[in-house]
Structure 1
Amino acid sequence: MESATGRLRHPADLDLRRLRLLTELERHGTVSAVAAALHLTPSAVSQQLAALAKDLGVRLTEPAGRRLRLTPEARLVLRHTARVFGAIDALYEDLAAQRDGEAGQVSVAGFATTLAPLVLPAAGLLKHSHPRLRTALAEVDPPDSFERLSRGEADVAIAVEAPDAPEHDPRFDKVPLMREVFDVALPTGHRLVDEPALGLPDLAEEAWIFATVGMCREIPLAACAAAGFTPQATHTIGDWEATFAAVRAGLGISLVPRLARPVGRDGVVVRPFAAEAPSRRVFAAVRPGERGVPQIAAVLDALRETAVGEEARTARAAQSVAAHS
């Protein structure tokens, strides 16, 4: 084969098929063997190798008896070619992973009490099941989380059913996660701690601690009204840690959603109700048509799995408290 030299062209102009032929020549040793392996004619192989030599501006082969010997420049090209094709293989692997939902990034906005019991465990599940899928987590309360979702700054927003939630908002698609029950937080030694069948009417004469705004305020008020009394609101606190501290100090009682229930806090007993308890629905919101995006679908599956586990765990914990009361 005649080797040609010329001016080096821009790498983007290189024909990858010609680089493949050079690697095949290294592997098989002769043009005839390359032609047979690739179902080409020897003439076509020689022409393509000559064109590659011209593109690169170097000699790639030299005669060695009845065979062709690769030049040092060809060996150098082959070393780079291995990296080029390795990068191309990695590109296709990444594209396949992106297409199948195994890679990429999903941003999740959750409100405070959902992070530890729902969002973070879901991220942990994904770390094992989809190790190349990154989750970016942020603590954001509604309605800000919905605004982020609308602007494309978040892919999934966690919220609860509320008057200002996107119940029928066409900008969002709603994915149910769990029903979250409210229990009552009492100070240790309270007269109702050991009440065998605790109901909301038993709390009518108590001093109450309410959340400042939102469903954690509206649900207890509505539940008390349905039970036939207006609660005596003595304190309004917007932080659960402070709320539990106030309960511990004997300043009042509070209805607590189970995702926010205290764990291992001395001085506070969280009791379930014997009858139907107040509750709220926790859901995930995504943009229309994106529920089926593989990456988002994987996050939603993980959230549903952790929600089912959390709902069962808190129910068992409540039953255990009731059994020992």
Structure 2
Amino acid sequence: MADRDRWDLRKLHILRTLREQGTVTATAEALRMTPSAVSQQLTNLARQLGVPLLRARGRRVELTDAARLVLRHAEAVFEQLERADGELAAYLRGEAGEVRVGAFSTAVPALVVPAVRGLRATHPQVSVRVRETEAQEAYELLAAGDVDLALSLAAHAPTAEDRRFLLVPLLADPLDVALSRDHPLAAAPELRLADLAAEPWIFGGSGPWSDITRGACEAAGFSPVPAHSAAGWTAILAMVEAGMGVALVPRTAAGRRDGVVMRELTADRPVRHVVAAVRKGGEDAPAVGRVLEALRAVAAPAHP
């Protein structure tokens, strides 16, 4: 194995400068060194490498063939270091780096994907790696350092008392009512959540969406009667289309089905709040800041 300690970059830079300047005196001036210091450094480099680097030609010195061979290889190192400096500077400006994002299912197409598209245009060296996850797992991953940023509903985020995380509000996502196209209220001039108190409801039997649906209906003065249980929006909207019940659907999650009408509520307008979270201090990482900026830009037009 090669003895890498003898490849001293500072001394190689002096040798490279000598090749460019032509004399020890000019090299010393360019590097703000004394001529004797230049000579000493090059003598030490020759000893480290075990080859002669300079030979006298009159009152001047010139590089040996061995010195030119050394510099040919050193150029590749200097080139790579220039690239590293450039990438490091870009990273420090928040223009480069990888950010791992954990997000719940509907946040991926509604927020994360548009943010990634925006970053490709403005900061193409910032890459985002997405991991779809439920809220509890997202915060476990965030705490463990397996993701850098987590998206969840505010109702399922850690409280402000949890000093591990910084929460960043992103979006107040309105909840609309999904009705079958032939439902008697599908074309009503105005629609309140209380008008649907006697309807059969479709939502998950437990978990975040069940809590949100029950909470919104109870705030409107009634407890929803669960007719069917489903977790995915495809299944929920298919049952709505078939006239099997009604459902609350986040506006950012709404899919299109010919037989389903999405109605905005004229009163008792419930919303779900979406937040981003990072580990305390993590917001100072420039690339993470760029991703947060991109998420805010996507979320801003969606605020009611």
User: Does the alignment pair 1:271 with 2:263?
Assistant: yes
Alignment correspondent of 2:294: 302
Matches within 5 A, 1:169-208: 169-208=162-201
- Distance change (3 Å), C-alpha of 1:42 and 1:142: closer
Q: How many residues align?
A: 302
2:185 match: secondary structure: coil
Structure 2 unmatched runs, 5+: none
Contact 2:193 2:268 in 1 (8 A): no
Matches of 1:159 and 1:47, distance apart in 2: 62
Matches of 1:247 and 1:132, distance apart in 2: 43
TM-score (norm 2): 0.91
Structure 1 unmatched runs, 5+: 1-8, 316-325
Match of 1:293 among 268, 276, 285: 285
Alignment correspondent of 1:37: 30
Over the matched positions of the two proteins, sequence identity in percent amounts to 45
Alignment correspondent of 1:69: 62
1:39 is displaced (CA, Å) by 4.0
2:131 match: secondary structure: strand
1:57 is displaced (CA, Å) by 1.4
Alignment correspondent of 1:215: 208
- Distance change (3 Å), C-alpha of 1:178 and 1:39: closer
Q: RMSD across aligned C-alpha pairs, in angstroms?
A: 2.0
In structure 1, what residue type is equivalent to 2:176? D
Alignment correspondent of 2:46: 53
Alignment correspondent of 1:230: 223
In structure 1, what residue type is equivalent to 2:281? G
Matches within 5 A, 1:225-264: 225-263=218-256
Matches of 1:144 and 1:39, distance apart in 2: 57
- Distance change (3 Å), C-alpha of 1:219 and 1:37: closer
1:207 is displaced (CA, Å) by 2.0
User: Does the alignment pair 1:151 with 2:144?
Assistant: yes
Alignment correspondent of 2:16: 23
1:94 is displaced (CA, Å) by 2.9
1:291 match: secondary structure: helix
Alignment correspondent of 2:103: 110
Matches of 2:166 and 2:27, distance apart in 1: 56
Deviates more, 1:16-25 or 1:33-42: 33-42
Contact 1:178 1:282 in 2 (8 A): yes
In structure 1, what residue type is equivalent to 2:185? L
TM-score (norm 1): 0.86
User: Does the alignment pair 1:99 with 2:92?
Assistant: yes
1:81 is displaced (CA, Å) by 1.7
